[in-house]
Structure 1
């Protein structure tokens, strides 16, 4: 006589299902991202590269994992650039708090050398190393509320301009460690300024303008996390527009976020009069 599945059979099937389900969800999300990236490429006739650092959670433990620019990012972007024909435009979509100066410098240098148009698209923010990468673009495309950030080097928890300033202001004898940090900070400032000038001159800016922008961004005039909005970036003399493609916002929605109850909620439909070419959407009652 055939015996049906036991409780333990069902239990183990559920264990297997819930173990595999997160992997299936992640793969499905990756396919959706690639489809949308291909759609943007077709529309803009360019190679689209994304570098989006959101807080993610580990697959099984559920703990948040904060991401930033790493050497792995620079390796992947350099590989994508090598695979792109010299006459094809590149659209780099970035969303990042910053990261390793070495990795950001490699990406910025590679983009600055390209003859075909390079557009860096910033839907929300690109701070620190993300700003350095944006400087390598022929055009920075920012949302009207998006921000970049200053490029003053950080030594541990201290900004390099402040270390240099303290060493110059102190009249009493300083510890050897403080003097060493001030010396390293001074070198870091010179290196970052030279990098910014090299990137900007490669993109066709005259040297005097490039040096002025480098001085403003590295001098410590702002704190390291101060947001530089579209108006400030334009005042620096950079080529900025606010025409972010709608598909870029759709793409941002496909990047995984930590689970749990979201802190921000709203009815996810547009209100008001539809734009030209849009299908009218009924307002909820």
Structure 2
């Protein structure tokens, strides 16, 4: 084997093959999205955040909702006719509040029915977007999360609670933080209320907005389907099967040896 051929193979494996594989995967994703659109007669938008791996070094990159995401989703909504429903598939840990709010407002303003589909989880900003939809469709084991504001590494509600406990003994810097925390919670509560009032009525929307933004739970607290129904939110658990197929085309980054093994074949029900 010549050295030129060896270096060509090495070059292909390091640079061209990962790019080629990614392009094939993107084509499969678009094909799957088109299948869901035909089945549901809707515009399908996927907001799916999983770890991505740099093709050369194998370094995982953690993804979340960004302004770039909001720009793309707003464009997709603008390209959708007023009489066409929208199915927004979300799988995300959250992200930038401004980006999530922009997506939520655009979804709410769309004239045809809007449906958010959550196969696994949509926390923080993902939950905010889900609240804007006409219908929330979740896997029976999927979760949403609270939308209480976070100031840097601290929950706004915890900053306020600390102020109440320490009073005037805090520093001027903390007083400023306390003032910002109060405003952040009030702003988010008002925003959630505006998202929910048309669907649930003013009184129920106020109650839900307060519960979800006041810091009752930690920010990563899982709000299950049963908990959400208990709070009064309407949840549909009939997730289209092709949505799971789409999620499989976004493989989780990891090492060569997976930590989960199973035979990927559906089994028939055991006869009594």
Q: TM-score range by the shorter chain?
A: over 0.9
2:30 is the counterpart of 1:38: no
Distance (whole Å) between structure 2 residues aligned to residue 91 and residue 267 of structure 1: 30
The answer to whether structure 1 residue 183 and structure 2 residue 173 are counterparts is no
Aligned partner (choices 119, 125, 130) of residue 126 of structure 2:
130
- Which has the larger share of helix? 2
**1:27-176 correspondence runs (5 A):** 27-171=23-167, 173-176=169-172
Cα distance in 2 for residues equivalent to 1:166 and 1:16: 57
TM-score normalized with structure 2 length: 0.95
- The answer to whether 1:244 aligns with 2:233 is no
Q: Which runs of 5+ in 1 are unaligned?
A: 1-5, 275-285
| CA shift digits 1:78-136 (9 cap, x unpaired) | 00000000010000000000000000000001111122110000000000000000001
Task: Please give the secondary structure, in 2, of the residue aligned with 1:54.
Answer: coil
Task: Give the TM-score of the pair, scaled to structure 1.
Answer: 0.91
Given candidates 205, 213, 227, the residue that maps to 2:208 is 213
For residues 190 and 227 of structure 1, the distance between their equivalents in structure 2, rounded to whole angstroms, comes to 23
CA distance in 1, matches of 2:180, 2:107: 28
Q: Tell me how far 1:68 sits from its aligned partner.
A: 0.3
In structure 2, what is the Cα distance between the partners aligned to 1:68 and 1:109? 19
> Is 1:13–2:21 an aligned residue pair?
no
Cα distance, 1:172 vs structure 2? 5.3
- Once the two structures are TM-superposed, the CA of residue 58 in structure 1 deviates from its matched residue by 1.0
3-state SS in 2 of match to 1:263: coil
Q: Measure, in 1, the Cα distance between the counterparts of 2:105 and 2:248.
A: 30
**1:107 & 1:22 partners in 2: Cα distance?**
32
Task: Say how many residue pairs are matched.
Answer: 268
Cα deviation, 1:31-52, whole Å, max 9, x if unaligned, reads 0000000000000000000000
What are the superposed Cα offsets for residues 23-73 of structure 1, whole Å, 9 maximum, x if unpaired?
A: 000000000000000000000000000000001111211101000000000
Confirm or deny: 8 A CA contact 2:46 2:89 kept in the other structure. yes
SS in 1 for 2:33: helix
- Which position in structure 2 is the counterpart of 1:234? 229
**Which structure's CA Rg is the greater one?**
1
| Aligned counterparts of 2:231 and 2:103: Cα–Cα separation in 1 | 22
Q: Which runs of 5+ in 2 are unaligned?
A: none
- Deviates further, 44-53 or 259-268: 259-268
- The 4+ residue runs of structure 1 with deviation greater than 3 A are none
Quote the residue 1:277 is aligned against: none
Look up the SS of the partner of 1:204 in the other structure: helix
Post-superposition shift, 1:7? 1.7
1:179, CA displacement in angstroms?
0.9
C-alpha contact (below 8 Å) 1:138/1:239 kept by paired residues: no
Aligned residues of 2:77 and 2:110 also touching (Cα < 8 A): no
